[in-house]
């Protein structure tokens, strides 16, 4: 039976009281620490181990039990932190038990929680559109641009085409100028090389990279530029993507327009700009299997950041297998 917090070991209660008084921890945090210490005490009781004689091996075993009970890596890390903090406190305090005074001796030589780590958190996979969904979204934007022929629709088609064509971050996309500029007033963060069909952007860590732009996206961009250049904008408006007032487009506007277009394209999910980047990476990797090339195009400093897309690629293959192979579902259900 699980202990109540009021049944905690006296030294645990003293530790929590000290955290409350000296460190001013919130009631919510103190309650969480109390539950974690209660787990520690329960494990010790179950294994008939004195709390003050717990070993490193005991702690590792009990962390494993937390994991087997379905606790997340975050929860286990917090529990280990609470346990480690209590044993550190005992070691520093070097409390001594005196039968008449009611004090308790720790007699700890080392903290048994030292070097015990929680299981690695499972990195959540980025959400990406399928190839069919991505094309449906791009085609919807191009279709509306051709039908409406207005500034917003043509601009949106160019934006979505470029996001999917080159895997840019939203901040990188919005930093692009019509052409490279460097003077006292302004230095371009990014720009398009119209002849080379290439976009140069300023990524994380202040690192520049150049990424190719596909033919359909260049066509959409050229259509937008023609309309943009014909507009009554200030000469200072050097940004490639402008609002109706001639200012550099805001992230919120792109997010809202993309969400609306996705709904009109019938996509069954909330679509945001970074999802287009994930889709670009996943789809290029599916076709080329060239992880290094995808790393360079995304501007990842480490190949480890790019490797997560191999999981998306495997998911894609597994789904295709389940749908296509006659024996894929044999024995299921």
Residues annotated as catalytic (active site), given as ranges: 169, 204, 274, 277, 300, 309
DSSP secondary structure letter of residue 6: G
CA pair distance 99, 145, nearest whole angstrom: 85
State how far the Cα of 182 lies from the Cα of 188, in Å rounded to an integer: 6
Buried b (16+ CB within 10 A) or exposed e, 209-226: bbbebeeebbebbebbbe
Q: Which helix H or strand E contains 42, and what residues bound it?
A: helix 27-46
Write the CB contacts of 290 (distance below 8 Å, at least 6 apart in sequence): 284
Place of tokens 């990406």: 128
Q: C-alpha distances in angstroms, 68 versus 32, 73, 105, 117, 119?
A: 20, 11, 33, 15, 11
Query: SS3 string of 190-201?
Result: EEEECCCCEEEE
- Please answer whether residues 291 and 285 qualify as being in contact, where contact means their C-beta atoms are separated by less than 8 angstroms: yes
| Contact status, residue 128 vs residue 312, Cβ threshold 8 Å | yes
Angle of CA points 312, 314, 315, to nearest 5°: 65
Q: What is the spatial distance between Cα 121 and Cα 166, in angstroms, rounded to a whole number?
A: 30
Contacts of 105 (CB under 8 A, 6+ apart): 52, 95, 96, 97
Neighbours of 250 (CB within 10 A): 12
The 3-state DSSP class for residue 98 equals: strand
């Amino acid at each position: 039976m699980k202990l109540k917090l009021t049944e905690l070991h006296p030294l645990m209660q003293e530790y929590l009281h000290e955290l409350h008084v000296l460190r001013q921890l919130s009631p919510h945090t103190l309650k969480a620490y109390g539950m974690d210490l209660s787990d520690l005490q329960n494990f010790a009781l179950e294994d008939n181990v004195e709390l003050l004689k717990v070993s490193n091996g005991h702690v590792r075993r009990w962390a494993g039990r937390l994991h087997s009970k379905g606790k997340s890596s975050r929860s286990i890390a917090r529990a280990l932190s609470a346990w480690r903090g209590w044993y550190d406190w005992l070691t520093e305090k070097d409390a001594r038990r005196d039968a008449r005074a009611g004090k308790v001796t720790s007699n700890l030589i080392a903290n048994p929680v030292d070097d015990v780590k929680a299981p690695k958190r499972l990195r959540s996979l980025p959400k990406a559109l399928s190839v069919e969904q991505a094309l449906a979204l791009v085609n919807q934007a191009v279709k509306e641009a051709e039908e409406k022929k207005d500034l917003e629709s043509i601009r949106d088609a160019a934006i979505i085409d470029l996001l999917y064509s080159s895997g840019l971050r939203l901040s990188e996309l919005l930093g692009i100028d019509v052409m490279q500029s460097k003077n006292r007033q302004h230095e371009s963060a990014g720009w398009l090389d119209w002849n080379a069909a290439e976009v140069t952007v300023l990524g994380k860590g202040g690192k520049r990279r150049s990424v190719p732009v596909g033919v359909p996206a260049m066509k959409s961009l050229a259509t937008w530029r023609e309309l943009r250049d014909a507009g009554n904008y200030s000469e200072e408006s050097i940004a490639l993507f402008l609002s109706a007032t001639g200012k550099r487009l805001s992230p919120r506007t792109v997010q809202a327009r993309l969400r609306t277009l996705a709904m009109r394209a019938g996509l069954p999910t909330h679509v945001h700009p970074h999802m287009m980047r994930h889709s670009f990476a996943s789809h290029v990797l599916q076709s080329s299997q060239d992880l290094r090339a995808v790393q360079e195009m995304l501007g990842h400093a480490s190949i480890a950041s790019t490797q997560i897309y191999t999981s998306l690629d495997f998911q894609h293959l597994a789904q295709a297998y389940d749908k296509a192979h006659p024996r894929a579902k044999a024995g299921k259900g």
